[in-house]
Each structure stands twice: as C-alpha cells, then as structure tokens.
Amino acid sequence: MRRIGAAVAALALAGGMLAAGAATAGASPSTAARASACPTGWGSGVKGSVDTGAVPLKDIRTGQHDCYDRLVFDVPGGGTVGYYVQYVDQLHQVGSGEYIPVGGGAVLEVRVAAPSYSPDSGTPTYPARAGLPLPGVDITGYSTFKDTRFAGSFEGETQIGVGVRARLPFRVTQLPDRLVVDVAHSWTSGA
C-alpha cells in the first residue's frame, strides 16, 4: 500500500502523463460511426488512487463491450480500493523483480491495494500462481485483451499484467467493493 501511495504521489508531482490519440483521417464509414458512438478522452497515462484497505481480493473477471474490454477486481467488504495502473515495457514482479512474459502488443500493469490472501491467516483468497494466466479468465475472441498474467501479492498489493493489442486508452473506475479497468478497442473509442 505504501508503494501505491508513493506511485500516486510521483504521478501528482509529474502532473500526470497524457498520451495523444491517433487521428482518424481516412476512416471508413463504419469506423466513423463507431468513433462517434465511442468518444475518446481516457488517455493512456498512469492512473492511481491512494485509497487503501486490508480486505483480500476474491476474484478477477473480464467482459467484452462495444467500445472496450473490461477487467473487474472483486474485493467484497473492501469499500473503495486503491490502485495504480500504467503501461510498462515489461512486467516485473514487485518485490523480487522477476520478469514475467506477457503476450500482446503492449503490457498494462495493474496493482490493486488488496492482497490475494487473508491478511489474518495467510490463506489464499484468489487461487492464482505467479507467471500464469489468471484462473477462470478466458479472453478468447476479445478485441483488445490478448493475455493475462498474475504477478503475485506483495505487502498488501496484488499485481497483474494484461497483454493488449496495442497501447490503447484506458480508464479506471472505483465502485464499492470493486475496481474496474476498461481498455478501449481503439483511440477513437472509449465511451
């Protein structure tokens, strides 16, 4: 949790990073119609929140939408869950620094302020293994998601890597007991 706070503080000092979107000149009519239905504006820069909690992660699930692919972290009883999300060149496990290969054109690192184990007993609450795909998550046929990898839990944070088709805009939404990460299908989508 200290790492998320430090990362968010660095983000604030840097003023946030915003990436420019690609132009849609020469887009086909179907692409143009989709662009108007899915406006841009999310950006691909670092996003984070220092909200913390000691409630464990129970599940990670995904979904497909017209404009984006969605990743949901379920943390029942966790209230508002802190996070740190950014594109990285490679996924390295927090703590050990071990490299974890992630397929796709870009790697989105997601760190959530919820351990994958019970802080009281150390019993796993999310049955994942470092370096392997997320259990129970099937992203076959997704437009944007190409791979998922569990990196582990360290000092109360759970870290995963999501392989995406390219470095695309994303948003993070905090909901009671859940954290939602949406990655747009293109720079002209993202509603």
Q: What is the pLDDT of residues 135-186, one digit of tens each?
A: 999 999 999 999 999 999 998 899 999 999 999 999 999 998 999 999 999 9
**Host domain of residue 7:** 2-18+42-184
**Res 12: pLDDT:** 40
DSSP 8-class letter at 66: S
**Measured between alpha carbons, how far is 35 from 191 in angstroms, rounded to an integer?**
9
Residue 116 lies in a domain: yes
Lowest mean pLDDT among 1-10, 57-66, 87-96: 1-10
**Res 38: pLDDT:** 81
**Measured between alpha carbons, how far is 106 from 168 in angstroms, rounded to an integer?**
9
Mean pLDDT across the stretch 49-71? Answer: 90
Residue 29 lies in a domain: no
* pLDDT confidence tier of residue 79, bands split at 50, 70 and 90: confident
CATH number of the domain bearing residue 140: 2.60.40.3500
**∠41-106-59 over CA atoms, to 5°?**
85
Q: How many domains does the chain have?
A: 1
Check pLDDT > 90 for residue 190: no
Residue 137 in contact with residue 61, Cβ under 8 Å? yes
**Measured between alpha carbons, how far is 123 from 108 in angstroms, rounded to an integer?**
27
**Measured between alpha carbons, how far is 188 from 172 in angstroms, rounded to an integer?**
18
Check pLDDT > 90 for residue 14: no
Residue 165 lies in a domain: yes
> Per-residue pLDDT tens for 111-147?
999 999 998 898 999 999 999 999 999 999 999 999 9
Residue 106 lies in a domain: yes
Mean pLDDT across the stretch 45-54? Answer: 82
3-state secondary structure of 16: coil
pTM of the model: 0.80
**Res 188: pLDDT:** 79
One-character DSSP codes across 93-133: -TTT--EE---SSEEEEEEESS-SB-TTT--BSS---TTSP
